[in-house]
Structure 1
């Protein structure tokens, strides 16, 4: 049996730079060493360099090793990275059908099945990967994600705990765990977990954003801002980080600082729907409100964030305030915006209630009633929204 090359052992142990250094040295000495090329292809996938990984795999094939099990595993991983699920599935299914299939094939098969929406099949594959290599944190993490999809929450939490026990520096485990706690209303526990994760991985921007969000949900604006500021220190040029901090500056009513952050993005040609929304909120908050500039900013926010329901909804509300005492037809531009907001987020109650009020004003009372009846059928509708919808329905008669 051929000994495992040192670079492969280093890669498996997580020493990526050591693996890269040694595999590169071997490849420079022998350009046809397919195992070195394969390790470099794996590293290219880790780095997100798909074209380089594909080029190295072609080199492996030219060296006569394209049908080696390891080569097919890397090829399947490349298809997975590109979202080519059917090609990846074909390779992984062939690999798990072989005698003594590698754990990596079951893991990859489970991952692909999740992406294809087949949680039951994913569970079977990932559970087998865990049984084969129970000391790998990533196996427990992915299995936990599938268990959440299957509503097997207790088991999911157990596997997330194992994932963090095996790898306390795995930021995604903290994030998934915290989101599950938030969904269950356990905001304090979610914050505690995120703080623990942030101590373990202090520069992870995902953890910092989640920490800011959960603190804001708990009413701790200053704590949310502190996390957002830390995120900006980690990625000072990050568009999302700057936009997030700008939004929190509005919450603090530090409007000039919020605008300054938005202007930084605009000067770099990197304005986003969020930054334009922040500008609009600042202009609305002025005394008196700068309606013209607010509407212009909302229009840009609607354009820059085509999937976000909030900008068209907020722009519509501002327009409605301007025509409150005008003729019924004055609300038509706002109605179009509310229809767009409802199209973007059919389950959100805010656009539905606003649309019903606008349609009632236009005399389309039956259409307004139908919207409210449909909204009230949603079993997860919060009590406050349900009360508003019922009151408006009663008012319509």
Structure 2
């Protein structure tokens, strides 16, 4: 058996620059060295240069090696990166039909099934990848994701722990683990884990955002702000980071600083639904409230975040409050934004209650009662909203 070329050995050992250097030298010696071209294609995928990877794969094909298992693996990985699921699946399945399928084919198949939202189909393939190469952290991580979706929580946690043991610098493992703990109401454990992750990967913005969120959920506003400030230090030009910090400044009632952050984004032409929402909250909170500027900001937030129900609901609420002091028809402008909020999030009770309140003020009592009755039939309705809906329905009887 021929020894593997040096560039392949270096690539598998994680010496990417050494592999690149040796593969380029090999290609200079022979333009038809398909294995060198394939290693360069792998490196292009690592670098996120999908177009270059595709070009190099064409070179491999011209060299007559497009049916080689290694070539099909790289081609499948490229299709996966592009979200071309049928092409990726077809290649992985041909590889799994080989007498000795490569572990990467099991992992790739499982990963694609996960991206398609089919954890049931993904789990066996990922379990096989773990069994074949149990010391690869990423195999355990992806299997844990599938197991969480299948409600096999104990097994999922075990694989996440193994993933972190093998690769304590893998930020996504901390994030998935923490989200699972949060979902189970274990906020303190989630924060401890995220702090551990932040120490291991101090500049990971995802960990800092999650740490800020879990601290806020625990009522630790100062701690949440501290994590958000650290995130801004890591990415000072980050639009999401600045918007998140601005929102927390409102929670701290540091309105001037919140508005300054939003104006920074506006000056760069980078306003978002979140930053406009923060502006609106500031204009509502100042004394006296600046209603017109708040309305304008909420309208912009609705436009800039077409999938978020919250700005439309808040805009409708403000119009509703403004109209309540006048004749009944004065609340009519609230209808359109509240209906839009309900359209964007039909499962949320807040727009439903606001719409019923508006209809009651307009004299549309039957419509309001019907809306509330439908809402109260939902078994998942939280006690707070059930109580509010029942109270409003009682007023209409």
Q: Tell me the TM-score normalised to structure 1 length.
A: 0.96
Shift of 1:118: 2.1
- What are the superposed Cα offsets for residues 122-164 of structure 1, whole Å, 9 maximum, x if unpaired? 1111111111111111111111111111111111111111111
In 2, the alpha carbon distance for the partners of 1:11 and 1:243 equals 40
1:38 matched residue in structure 2: 38
Distance 2:331 2:181 in 1: 42
Between the aligned partners of 1:390 and 1:27, the Cα distance in structure 2 is 75
Pairwise CA RMSD of aligned residues?
A: 1.5
Q: 1:21 to 1:366 in 2, by over 3 A?
A: farther
Q: Which residue of 2 aligns with 1:317?
A: 317
Q: Give aligned pairs, total.
A: 397
Matched, 1:307 2:307: yes
**Contact (CA 8 Å) 2:322, 2:331: kept in 1 or not?**
no
**How far apart in 1 are the matches of 2:148 and 2:305?**
29
Q: Structure 1 residue 339: deviation in Å?
A: 0.9
Tell me the residue number matched to 1:386: 386
What is the Cα deviation at residue 101 of structure 1?
0.3
1:247-266 equivalent positions in 2, closer than 5 A: 247-266=247-266
Once the two structures are overlaid, the 10-residue window that deviates more, 2-11 or 354-363, is 2-11
Superposition pairs of residues 1-397 of structure 1, within 5 angstroms: 1-397=1-397
Residues in 2 aligned to 1:349 and 1:47: alpha-carbon distance in whole angstroms? 45
Q: Determine helix, strand or coil for the equivalent of 1:287.
A: coil
> Once the 2 structures are TM-superposed, how far is the Cα of residue 378 of structure 1 from its aligned partner?
3.4
The Cα offsets for residues 48-96 of structure 1, whole Å up to 9 and x where unpaired, read as 2221111111111111111111111111111111111111111111111
Q: Within 1, Cα distance between the matches of 2:326 and 2:20? A: 70
Distance in 2 separating the partners of 1:261 and 1:26: 52
Q: CA deviation at 1:334?
A: 1.0
- Residue 174 of structure 1 deviates from its aligned partner by 0.3
Shift of 1:18: 3.5
Stretches of structure 2 that go unaligned for 5 or more consecutive residues are: none
Residue 323 of structure 1 aligns to a residue whose secondary structure is helix
Q: CA deviation at 1:20?
A: 3.1
User: In 1, distance between residues paired with 2:347 and 2:213?
Assistant: 22
Deviation at 1:297, TM superposition (A): 0.9
Change (3 A) 1:355 1:182: same
Write the deviation string for residues 303-330 of structure 1: whole angstroms up to 9, x where unpaired.
1110111111111111112111222222
Deviations 1:343-372 (A, max 9, x none): 111221211111111122223333323332
Offset, 1:198? 0.4
2: distance between equivalents of 1:75 and 1:209? 35
CA distance in 2, matches of 1:333, 1:43: 57
Distance 2:24 2:87 in 1: 29
Once the two structures are TM-superposed, the CA of residue 240 in structure 1 deviates from its matched residue by 0.7
SS class of match (1:165): helix
SS at match of 1:373: helix
C-alpha distance in 2, partners of 1:14/1:376? Answer: 58
| In structure 2, distance between residues paired with 1:352 and 1:12 | 57
Where 1:247 maps in the other structure, the secondary structure is helix
**Aligned CA distance change for structure 1 residues 218 and 62 (closer, same or farther; 3 Å):** same
Whole-angstrom CA distance in 2 between matches of 1:76 and 1:70: 10
Q: Aligned partners of 2:10, 2:249: CA distance in 1, in Å?
A: 45
Matches of 1:110 and 1:377, distance apart in 2? 40
Please report how far the alpha carbon of residue 25 of structure 1 lies from its aligned counterpart in structure 2 after TM superposition: 3.5
Farther off after superposition, 169-178 or 251-260: 251-260
Checking the alignment, whether the CA contact within 8 Å between 2:130 and 2:140 is kept in structure 1 is: yes
